[in-house]
Amino acid sequence: MLLNKILNQTAPAQVMGILNVTPDSFSDGGKYTQTDKAISQVAMMIEQGATIIDIGGESTRPGAAEVSENDELSRVIPLVKLIKAHFDVLISVDTSKAEVMAEAINSGADIINDVRALQNDNCLEVIAKSNVPVCLMHMQGLPRTMQNNPQYENLIDDIMLFFQQRINVCQQAGIAKERIIIDPGFGFGKTLKQNYQLLAHLSQFKSLGLPILSGTSRKSMIGNLLNRDVEQRLAGSLTTAIIAAQQGANIIRVHDVAETVDAMKVLLALEQNV
């Protein structure tokens, strides 16, 4: 089974490459180039060692506008089918909408990645009816306002409790625990300090006995710390990837696949000598 493959790997962590799915331009002429660009980006990420491709049609950046179901479907579903037809790679679909989940699974998606942890209508039911793994991410608040003074009683305990509750809800809905991946949601309702506290204590979530996904690539926790624009965050991103993998993260979600795969190979060499 897929999750066993992820857990029993030899490398410290699998690298999940982020596919940017920007909106198609209004003219039909833009469509092919957008699709071509996406396919060549996928080919490159696979060549660089990504074993999972994360496709998302909704921006969850702080303050981003919401995307309609139809727009999300038309951005994501054709790409899932196309990638599935051309490549032997696991496809993760980043969505919080039940209809998009259902269509993605029908089209061959291997993982559903939900930053809202299946809290939207019908999501539990759609996943329960399928047999795909699902990533449950922690977010405090909603994208538009989540970065306005996030507060926790105890950061790690609060997130741990959230996972325990969502895992219970999933199990009651008929989703086996063995299908669940957890993700603390770096940058989703966390201050700079809280993000680093989370990174420092990531290994605590191993006690839940589930694979951990970590996504810090190019995020503000790096940009704001180092005062670097988004294109200049590679060194910081690699540092966080290594720290997460050393604490047992199983999947690292990144923009810079080649560099992160190199870092994971160095960690593997290290682990083989302890």
The closest alpha carbon to 155, from 126, 196, 123, belongs to: 196
Nearer to ligand 8Y4 by Cβ, of 94 and 103: the residue is 94
Angle, CA 201 vertex, CA 196 and CA 203 arms, to 5° = 135
Active-site annotation holds for 219:
yes
Q: Binding to ligand 8Y4 by residue 144, rule CB under 6 A?
A: no
Of the residues 166, 179, 190, 219, which is catalytic? Answer: 219
Q: Binding to ligand 8Y4 by residue 189, rule CB under 6 A?
A: no
CB under 8 Å to 224, separation ≥6 — which residues?
Answer: 192
Beta strands in 25-110 (DSSP E): 52-56, 90-94
Nearer to ligand 8Y4 by Cβ, of 10 and 203: the residue is 203
Q: Choose, by CB under 6 A, the member of 17, 133, 185, 236 that binds ligand 8Y4.
A: 185
Q: Binding to ligand 8Y4 by residue 202, rule CB under 6 A?
A: no
Q: Choose, by CB under 6 A, the member of 111, 186, 252, 260 that binds ligand 8Y4.
A: 186
The closest alpha carbon to 144, from 57, 64, 59, 56, belongs to: 64
Q: Choose, by CB under 6 A, the member of 75, 138, 179, 253 that binds ligand 8Y4.
A: 253
Q: Binding to ligand 8Y4 by residue 163, rule CB under 6 A?
A: no
Of the residues 97, 166, 190, 253, which is catalytic? Answer: 253
**3-class state of residue 20 by DSSP:** strand
What is the rounded CA–CA span in Å between residue 6 and residue 13?
Answer: 8
Interface positions, 108-127, toward ligand 8Y4 (CB under 6 A): 113, 115
Token pair recorded at residue 238: 């690699």
Q: Choose, by CB under 6 A, the member of 75, 138, 166, 219 that binds ligand 8Y4.
A: 219
Minimum gap (Å) between residue 91 Cβ and ligand 8Y4: 14
Nearer to ligand 8Y4 by Cβ, of 27 and 94: the residue is 94
Sole residue written with tokens 């179901």: 69
Binding region for ligand 8Y4 (CB under 6 A) out of 63-71, 120-128, 213-221, 266-274: 213-221
Q: Binding to ligand 8Y4 by residue 247, rule CB under 6 A?
A: no
Interface positions, 11-50, toward ligand 8Y4 (CB under 6 A): none
The closest alpha carbon to 113, from 93, 127, 131, 90, belongs to: 93
Binding region for ligand 8Y4 (CB under 6 A) out of 25-33, 54-62, 101-109, 162-170: 54-62
Nearer to ligand 8Y4 by Cβ, of 60 and 107: the residue is 60
Do 99 and 73 meet the contact criterion of CB atoms below 8 Å apart?
Answer: yes
DSSP summary character for residue 49:
T
Our CA dihedral for 75, 77, 81, 87, rounded to 10 degrees, sits at 60
Q: In what order do the strands lie in the sheet with 134-137?
A: 180-183, 134-137, 111-114, 90-94, 52-56, 14-20, 251-254, 213-214
Task: Cite the active site residues.
Answer: 219, 253
Binding site for ligand 8Y4 (CB under 6 A): 56, 60-61, 94, 113, 115, 135, 137, 183, 185-186, 213, 215, 218-219, 230, 253
